[in-house]
Amino acid sequence: MRLLAALSALAAFLVLSAGAGMAERLGGRSASSTSTFGLAVVARGLEAPVGIATTPSEPRRLYVVEQRGTVRVIERGRLRSGFFLDVRDRVVSGGEQGLLGLAFDPLYPRNRFVYVNFTDREGHTRIVRFRTNGRRALPGSARLLLRV
């Protein structure tokens, strides 16, 4: 599932970033005529998604990182209401700043730890660990691991 999600995200990025320039480099042929990858709408209603993560223990869930400071969950093909994580009050976003990454602990099924990378209100990069209850990250469990 991780590989499928990563390949889907990579394919979407390559097709979207290639645009007309790719068609010119291919001798006038469109990128879609030379590629086995395609685009498919997975969810609507996301705001500035910058990343996607999944964990083997939850194969039917995709976690979408939104630059503004939220993480949304796509479960069984549907965008779940509410947030898995909401750190908008801690994040400055725009350009290359914001909530930029999410990773699951290798022992996530046992310890429920997730790690996020974001730019704080002062412009510093932070890596913070949160514990989850399986449905949402618990705000009070935040532990700063790195500040640059």
C-alpha span between 147 and 55 (Å, rounded): 25
* Secondary structure (3-state) at 116: strand
Per-residue tokens: 144: 């700063």
Q: What integer is the mean pLDDT of 5-32?
A: 44
Q: What pLDDT, on the 0 to 100 scale, is given for residue 33?
A: 57
Sign of CA dihedral 56, 61, 67, 70: negative
Contact in structure between 118 and 111 (CB atoms under 8 Å): no
Q: What pLDDT, on the 0 to 100 scale, is given for residue 22?
A: 40
Count of beta carbons in the 10 Å neighbourhood of residue 52: 18
Burial class (CB in 10 A: 0-12, 13-18, 19+), 104: buried
What digits encode the pLDDT tens for the residues 71-119? 999 998 899 999 999 999 999 999 999 999 999 999 999 999 999 999 9
C-alpha span between 127 and 2 (Å, rounded): 22
What digits encode the pLDDT tens for the residues 41-77? 888 899 999 999 999 999 999 999 999 999 999 998 8
pLDDT band for position 139 (50/70/90)?
very high
